[in-house]
Amino acid sequence: MQPLLFFSTGYFIYLGRAVDTVVHEHHAVQIAISLENEIEIISSGSVMKHRAVIISSDEPHECRTHNHAFLLINIDPESKIGTGIKETYLTADQITALPESIVEEFLGNIKPLLINTISADAIFDAILQFLKKLSETDEHKNMDDRIIKVLKVLKQPGNAPLKIQNLSSLVHLSPGRLVHLFTEQVGIPVRKYILWTRLLTALQCIFNGCTITKAALEAGFSDAPHFNRTFKRMFGQSPSLLLQNSQIIQAYVK
């Protein structure tokens, strides 16, 4: 199976053979699912072995997968799905196992997609459906025209980082009302959405052959160290790993 890497607003998803990690932490809520045997998670000196685990934000841990096929899902903790997962599974513990029945149902849905080499979009959509069910959330079917307009502006390439005040004036809303409505309908706070669009722009540049320095500047970061710090804070690893593995990983930025 060729390793797959998906980046989308609020998500960073890796599917492939895993590399064991040293002790680290990240701001994203993380779901780790082995397609084969159990995963070992080491935290605070204790070792947990599970088929699938959820790790809360900023929780130091070490992961051992013994080179098994592995799905790693990083979710913005301020997104609707991220907060839903935390409220459902992480109120008592910072690291917890997913119920076996949920894991088996998900693996039963996704394994045929991998075996039959269905399109990457189908795999990504199956993962998103799993996350929505897990967090007991769903998307709004009818989005407010003002939010649609804001999203179009934020997605335009080459835009300088925009402030909430500028966006709210554009659609004739107060800043507070825009923040509330955007979060309600898009599922992630507008400030976090802006940060994710900058991360995605930088990553697309990297996969198009740009250096990290050029990608960082193209995305509106002050310099490469600023981009590196932001990426590592969210995901617990340096974006330079993407460059090292770019020849063997099939990446999708959506």
Tens digit of pLDDT at every position of the chain (254 positions) = 678 888 899 999 988 876 666 777 889 999 999 988 888 888 888 888 999 999 999 888 888 887 788 899 999 999 999 999 999 999 989 999 999 899 999 999 998 888 766 688 889 999 999 999 999 887 656 889 999 999 988 887 666 667 899 999 999 999 999 999 999 999 999 999 999 988 988 888 888 888 899 999 988 899 999 999 999 888 887 887 666 655 556 778 77
CB atoms within 10 A of CB 98: 18
Write down which residue in 112, 135, 158 finishes a domain.
135
Examine the domain organization and report whether 54 and 122 are in the same domain. yes
Residue 58 contacts residue 26 (beta carbons within 8 Å)? yes
The CATH number given to whatever domain includes residue 119 is: 2.60.120.10
Specify whether the backbone of 174 is left (phi greater than 0), alpha (psi in -120 to 50) or beta.
beta
Residues 10, 126 within the same domain? yes
Last residue of one domain, picked from the residues 89, 107, 135? 135
- Strand runs labelled E in 68-217: 69-75, 95-97
Neighbours of 66 (CB within 10 A): 13
In angstroms, the CA 178 to CA 94 distance is 32
Q: Which domain holds residue 168?
A: 145-239
128 and 161 co-located in one domain:
no
CA distance 138 to 152: 22
**pTM for the whole structure:** 0.87
Q: Where are the alpha helices (DSSP H) in 32-95?
A: 80-89
Please give the Cα distance from 106 to 68 (Å, whole number).
Answer: 17
**Last residue of one domain, picked from the residues 93, 113, 135:** 135
